[in-house]
Structure 1
Amino acid sequence: MRDLDIVQGEVRLTAHREHDDLLSAGLGLAGLRGAPAAFADAQRPSAQELRRRAIQTSWKGIADLGPLGGYGTVYGAVAHVPGVEYHAFAKLSGAHAPHRVLLQVPDNFDHAHRCLVVTASSGSRGIYGAIALAGAWGLPRGCAVAYTDKGAGTGYFDFSDDSGVGLSGERAQRGAALLEFEPPASHGEGIAIKHAHSGDNPEADWGRHVLQAARFGLAMLDRAFPGQAPFTPQNTRIIATGLSNGGGAVLQAAGIDDQRMLAGVVALEPNVYTPGRGRALYDYATEAAIWLPCALTDARFAAVPFARDVHGQAPAAWTARGASLRERGQLSASTPPAQAAQAYERLRGAGWTDQAMATAALSVAFDLWRTLGAAYASAYLRRGAHEMPGGYRYAGTLADGKPGVADAATRAGWWADASGIPPGNGVGLFGQTDGSIDPQLAGCEQLRSLWTGDDAQARTLRASVAAVAVGLPRENLPLWVLHGADDGLLPTTFSSEPYVAWLGEHGRKPLYWKLPHAQHFDAFLALPGFGDRHLPLLPYGYAALDRLWAHLYAERPWPADLPTPAGTPRGAGPLQRGMLGLD
């Protein structure tokens, strides 16, 4: 069978019909919204139980399934889609760790319009991390859907019992099975994360991961339908789509697609770094970790969700940040309001908009900037779990918040429940705090110095970041970038806008929607007060994919330009179709 030279070990085939389908594992929309899918034995969940909960977790992590969000009524649907899945570990030449690949083949595969959707997980999520986008759109339409975790994922390795995750999602000991991630043997405790600790700088290979997943998908379609083989890019349209890191991955794939595999690309809120312009995620994430807490205490952000407590006060740690920066000589103002104003102006001068800063209050409140900085620094420097930059480390979180060994039930659920980068799900990020009033600043400054410094470590990190820069897609490739104007995690001014401008300067003609009132996390729109101000991004992604389908299969002309929908914020009530501006 062609292309199986990329596969390590077996290809696992499973059927999913009746009460266990491809799109929701039998949960349906109501079940996806509900309590976590149960494990009969919390310490030893079955492969089927883990899969069901992984699918549920992935849906909840990406889509707004809240009662006001409109999913399933205003846009989107969770159809019952029976079919089969092919799971495998694939490996790039020269890589230390594999990436997990998956093909879902619906029973209603459309043989008249042979279609393969290829996608990559958002963030650092596991293999189902793009199911709410690619699966929800492609599977009911009769497309097969190929997924990759792009060298990240939730196959955490725990040194305390020397266990990782096998192909089925169940935990196994080192040497007992082929594992999703198996770091070198080490004495002691701690937890290793594939994205941070594989030694591969996986982000530089996201495009290769996507194209390899597409090749795996074609090979598995040969296996599923041998009478119609071979499936090739010439007789099967390959549509690439992804969001966030997954969006960046499909744009990377478009930039290296020398064999013209991809028929079209739809990228939502992509983490894309354009050579010579824009800013890399590590650059503005480490900047945000230091300066945003102080800037957000400015009065202009007083009404922003997550920027104030129920009493209208900014978090004490954010106010302390201004004093700490003044002590270090980085701010000259002596009062908290003046310090906030100086921090705000500094960020404005670095390209941050008021919209991005306001929405980024959520990321500050959830400590996402420091979390991203620690993990990405380790990946860029190719460090192991016990040698992370700045003395950071991952370990189980005990009931008192201190590091320790995770219990068996927590460990067993990581593959289904975790996001791919701790903290969360009983795993904490520890180290680099002190007893000062601002205990995290020193660690954040160390992470920042890896970008701004000139020592060997900083030069190595910047070289690794340079390797993630995107390449030019081929001329006339249908390509659509959609990004929320209010994105506070991957601001458009640093990511999509420089990319789209660069394409235009080189004769490419992408479609670009900078969508009013949309931000980065659809799933957080269900939080009280937050969704009132914003619109979901997924319905626009579905609409773009619909238009691409019409172009590829119904010969509808690909537009040279398309006006951006003028949506209106949802407000305190439920989402209405007219608010999206799509009709």
Structure 2
Amino acid sequence: MNITHRVSLLCAALPLLSGCALVVNAAPASTATAAPVFEQWRETQHRGGDDLMTAGLGLEGLRASVAPVFSSPALPTADEARRRAIWSSWRGIADLTPGGGFGDRYGSVQSAPGREFSAYARIPGARHPHRVLVQIPDNFDPARRCLVATASSGSRGIYGAIPVAGSWGLAHGCAVAFTDKGAGSDYYDLDAKSGFQADGTPATHGALAFVPEAGTAAHGVAFKHAHSGDNPEADWGRHLVQAVQFGLQALDRAYPQSAPFTSANTRTLGVGVSNGGGAVLRAAEIEGDWFDAMVAGEPNVSIAGAPPLYDFVTQAALLMPCALLAIDDLPQPPVQAQARPLWTQQCAALKANGLVQGDDTDAQAQSARQQLANAGLSDGALRAGAFSTGFDLWRAIAVTYASAYGGFAAGQHPCAYTFSAVGADGKPGAATPEARASWWSEASGIPPGSGVVLVDGNAAHVADDPLRGLRCLHALGTGDSAEAKRVRAGIAKAAANKPRAGLPIVVIHGIDDGLVPSSMTSDRYVPQARAAGAQIAYWRVTNAQHFDSLLAFPDYRKRYVPLLPYMFAAMDQVWAHLEDPTRGLPQDALIETTPRADAPLQPAQLSIPVVSSR
């Protein structure tokens, strides 16, 4: 589909000018697919001791447990902030341990010199922009135009999909277009009035990436996913389409003699995992031939008419600590000896609130376990959910998504939750300049982490009602209050619709996924998409959970295989079909696997499906 892209006359005249800014005062585009104007264009070069894939760190540098240093801890340069962001993204998503297979059995970390173009994009009607970035390797061939479009996993920053889409796309000589899909690590210190610039460096003024609309009484830390007021999940698909549009414009700038680059003459593959996988499936439903194929791993996707994932998250926050006491042989971490007393207390509190049955802890745990099973959670997924439970992810996710769905500003969460930096005494307090400087590079997009904690305003009631905050979060998805209606309206806007007919799609999900259970997401989406005529394949992987990075822990790699090899295999197979239609597309598969334990990963342990030629 040919699209006429609107570009500033100044920037069009100077296609390679670094930092060319587009200041837009015109009315926003009226549709999701109208060509947007991108603001704050930047171009940077990455060669020599730097590159697109690893920022010059290489595999050994990515494996390092200590982050790349800032020469001035409170004032990193743009290059330093970028290098640390890439390091953090790799370590948070992929299993890079020796013997784990990355860079050997699957994936690539080979140096990829080239250029980056970045800017801000805005969904029509949105209060705040999202980041877009395109990496164009020097070996890109305009005669074989290819673009990989991706959205960050979780709520990560702009490099949050580089171990997946970046690794595959750059290794194939493709340009790679990223979006943070309206979330990301552009934290804002409400007290110091400090945020981040387009280049990832901290600042208190100028064109900051995110400045929340908050009252004077708001204190602590705000971040884009929770506090933008834009309900980014409802627009994940449009974010990804805008990444494609930005990618095409960036290619026009990089290769003006070969312009225009359009979705009609540039082969485009949409790829993402977790929330990025959800963005891929949402983009698949948007009108227009933006993509030639899609690969979605462990997608966070809710289906209209089915219980939303938010309800499961709040139910898990309440019940899972207790339910895990009824499951033997849990993976570690968390350390069970430390967790068990707290989980026992949770059982007692649930019993006191009438939320579980039983006169002793064992009976209460079985009651909680059965309720989760009734919701569709398998014992394997429950066991893998121990990590999210032990590290308080359920509550953090519920607070963030409730705030986003309801459009609650910083300091206005209906369940009295806020976020704060950690002071020198380990308690909520003022952030140091050094801590603030690291947020853009290291934060996951949803605290706690990187020196920011979740603060429970219900703490004064813990003695008489320890579940007050969690029950409030759950009621936002089920209750009749004005706040609950706002949250449910936001949830409804984020539900997936049928994909475009004829678009090849591969969905991949670990059967033991304890964070985004396949039974509540992919198992529902695939039949609905197929019934609507979608050309879709579904790979269900045994012994696979949500976080490949957890395979760095010995107990996890004894139990689980990584999911990313299947993403790379699916991309390879889909791409081969696009280049030669006589080669078949992937088909449905239940994939039986064998974890590697402490031995090097072998291809036979993964049992990757093979595609037959037509």
TM bin, normalised by shorter chain, reads over 0.9
Which of 396, 404, 411 is residue 379 of structure 1 equivalent to?
404
Query: What is the match of residue 309 of structure 2?
Result: 281
Whether the 8 Å contact between 1:3 and 1:219 is mirrored in structure 2 is: no
Is residue 2:356 matched to residue 1:331?
yes
Deviation at 1:116, TM superposition (A): 0.6
Which of 149, 160, 163 is residue 191 of structure 2 equivalent to?
160
Whether the 8 Å contact between 1:320 and 1:438 is mirrored in structure 2 is: no
Per the alignment, in what secondary structure is the counterpart of residue 144 of structure 2?
coil
Whether the 8 Å contact between 1:85 and 1:103 is mirrored in structure 2 is: yes
Structure 2 CA distance, aligned partners of 1:159 and 1:33? 34
Which of 225, 228, 245 is residue 215 of structure 1 equivalent to?
245
Per the alignment, in what secondary structure is the counterpart of residue 229 of structure 2?
coil
* CA RMSD, Structure 1 to Structure 2 (Å): 1.7
Deviation at 1:113, TM superposition (A): 1.9
Per the alignment, in what secondary structure is the counterpart of residue 530 of structure 1?
helix
In the TM superposition, 1:128-143 aligns within 5 A as 128-143=159-174
Structure 1 CA distance, aligned partners of 2:426 and 2:527? 46
In the TM superposition, 1:35-434 aligns within 5 A as 35-173=66-204, 176-184=205-213, 186-187=215-216, 189-256=219-286, 258-277=287-306, 279-298=307-326, 301-306=327-332, 309=335, 315-431=340-456, 432-434=458-460
Deviation at 1:307, TM superposition (A): 7.7
Residue identity in the other structure for 1:141: H
Structure 2 CA distance, aligned partners of 1:438 and 1:233? 60
Structure 2 CA distance, aligned partners of 1:289 and 1:563? 32
Whether the 8 Å contact between 1:196 and 1:379 is mirrored in structure 2 is: yes
Residue identity in the other structure for 1:178: A
1:214-266 Cα distance to aligned partner (Å, 9 max, x none): 0011011001001111001111011100000000001100111x111111000
Is residue 2:536 matched to residue 1:510?
yes
Structure 2 CA distance, aligned partners of 1:521 and 1:439? 33
1:281-302 Cα distance to aligned partner (Å, 9 max, x none): 211000000001111001xx22
Structure 1 CA distance, aligned partners of 2:574 and 2:607? 19
1:468-516 Cα distance to aligned partner (Å, 9 max, x none): 0112112111100000111000000000010001112222231000111
Name the CA shift for 1:495/1:327 in 2 (closer, same or farther; >3 Å).
Answer: same
Whether the 8 Å contact between 2:543 and 2:561 is mirrored in structure 1 is: yes
Per the alignment, in what secondary structure is the counterpart of residue 376 of structure 1?
helix
Is residue 2:583 matched to residue 1:521?
no
Worse-superposed segment, 358-367 or 321-330 = 321-330
Name the CA shift for 1:359/1:185 in 2 (closer, same or farther; >3 Å).
Answer: closer
1:176-234 Cα distance to aligned partner (Å, 9 max, x none): 32111111364363111100000111110000100011001101100100111100111
Deviation at 1:150, TM superposition (A): 0.3
Whether the 8 Å contact between 1:88 and 1:100 is mirrored in structure 2 is: yes
1:523-579 Cα distance to aligned partner (Å, 9 max, x none): 111113112100001111000000111111133434372534322122243322221
Q: Structure 2: which 5+ runs fail to align? A: 8-23, 25-35
Structure 2 CA distance, aligned partners of 1:185 and 1:454? 26
Name the CA shift for 1:332/1:2 in 2 (closer, same or farther; >3 Å).
Answer: closer
Query: What is the match of residue 21 of structure 2?
Result: none
1:412-464 Cα distance to aligned partner (Å, 9 max, x none): 11000100011111111102334647975221111001111112211221111
Aligned length, in residue pairs: 576
Is residue 2:530 matched to residue 1:500?
no
Structure 2 CA distance, aligned partners of 1:310 and 1:185? 40
Name the CA shift for 1:366/1:392 in 2 (closer, same or farther; >3 Å).
Answer: same
Whether the 8 Å contact between 1:324 and 1:438 is mirrored in structure 2 is: no
Whether the 8 Å contact between 1:95 and 1:200 is mirrored in structure 2 is: yes
Whether the 8 Å contact between 2:334 and 2:387 is mirrored in structure 1 is: no
Residue identity in the other structure for 1:518: A
Worse-superposed segment, 179-188 or 211-220 = 179-188
Whether the 8 Å contact between 1:320 and 1:437 is mirrored in structure 2 is: no
Structure 1 CA distance, aligned partners of 2:340 and 2:126? 43
Whether the 8 Å contact between 2:269 and 2:292 is mirrored in structure 1 is: yes
Q: Structure 1: which 5+ runs fail to align? A: none
Give the TM-score taking structure 2 as reference length: 0.91
Name the CA shift for 1:124/1:560 in 2 (closer, same or farther; >3 Å).
Answer: closer
Residue identity in the other structure for 2:343: W
Deviation at 1:274, TM superposition (A): 1.4
Query: What is the match of residue 541 of structure 1?
Result: 567
1:87-106 Cα distance to aligned partner (Å, 9 max, x none): 10111110000000001000
Worse-superposed segment, 484-493 or 327-336 = 327-336
Residue identity in the other structure for 2:482: A
Structure 1 CA distance, aligned partners of 2:293 and 2:575? 9
Per the alignment, in what secondary structure is the counterpart of residue 118 of structure 2?
strand
Structure 1 CA distance, aligned partners of 2:347 and 2:591? 39
Structure 1 CA distance, aligned partners of 2:354 and 2:227? 35
Deviation at 1:109, TM superposition (A): 0.3
Structure 2 CA distance, aligned partners of 1:63 and 1:395? 28
Query: What is the match of residue 11 of structure 2?
Result: none
Structure 2 CA distance, aligned partners of 1:59 and 1:276? 36
Whether the 8 Å contact between 1:509 and 1:560 is mirrored in structure 2 is: no
Whether the 8 Å contact between 1:307 and 1:314 is mirrored in structure 2 is: no
Whether the 8 Å contact between 1:307 and 1:315 is mirrored in structure 2 is: no
Structure 2 CA distance, aligned partners of 1:526 and 1:179? 36
Deviation at 1:389, TM superposition (A): 2.5
Per the alignment, in what secondary structure is the counterpart of residue 268 of structure 2?
strand
Structure 2 CA distance, aligned partners of 1:217 and 1:8? 11
Name the CA shift for 1:440/1:385 in 2 (closer, same or farther; >3 Å).
Answer: farther
Worse-superposed segment, 355-364 or 179-188 = 179-188
Residue identity in the other structure for 2:5: R
Structure 2 CA distance, aligned partners of 1:229 and 1:451? 49
Per the alignment, in what secondary structure is the counterpart of residue 482 of structure 1?
strand
Residue identity in the other structure for 2:223: I
Structure 2 CA distance, aligned partners of 1:325 and 1:103? 49
1:137-162 Cα distance to aligned partner (Å, 9 max, x none): 00121100000000001011111221
Worse-superposed segment, 543-552 or 391-400 = 391-400
1:35-58 Cα distance to aligned partner (Å, 9 max, x none): 211111101110000000000100
Per the alignment, in what secondary structure is the counterpart of residue 529 of structure 1?
helix
Structure 1 CA distance, aligned partners of 2:69 and 2:328? 41
Structure 1 CA distance, aligned partners of 2:403 and 2:601? 41
Deviation at 1:355, TM superposition (A): 1.1
Residue identity in the other structure for 1:282: Y
Deviation at 1:310, TM superposition (A): 6.2
Is residue 2:604 matched to residue 1:573?
no
Whether the 8 Å contact between 2:76 and 2:201 is mirrored in structure 1 is: yes
Name the CA shift for 1:554/1:111 in 2 (closer, same or farther; >3 Å).
Answer: farther
Whether the 8 Å contact between 1:317 and 1:438 is mirrored in structure 2 is: no
Residue identity in the other structure for 2:74: Q
Per the alignment, in what secondary structure is the counterpart of residue 135 of structure 2?
strand
Query: What is the match of residue 50 of structure 2?
Result: 20
Structure 2 CA distance, aligned partners of 1:17 and 1:462? 48
Structure 2 CA distance, aligned partners of 1:151 and 1:557? 37
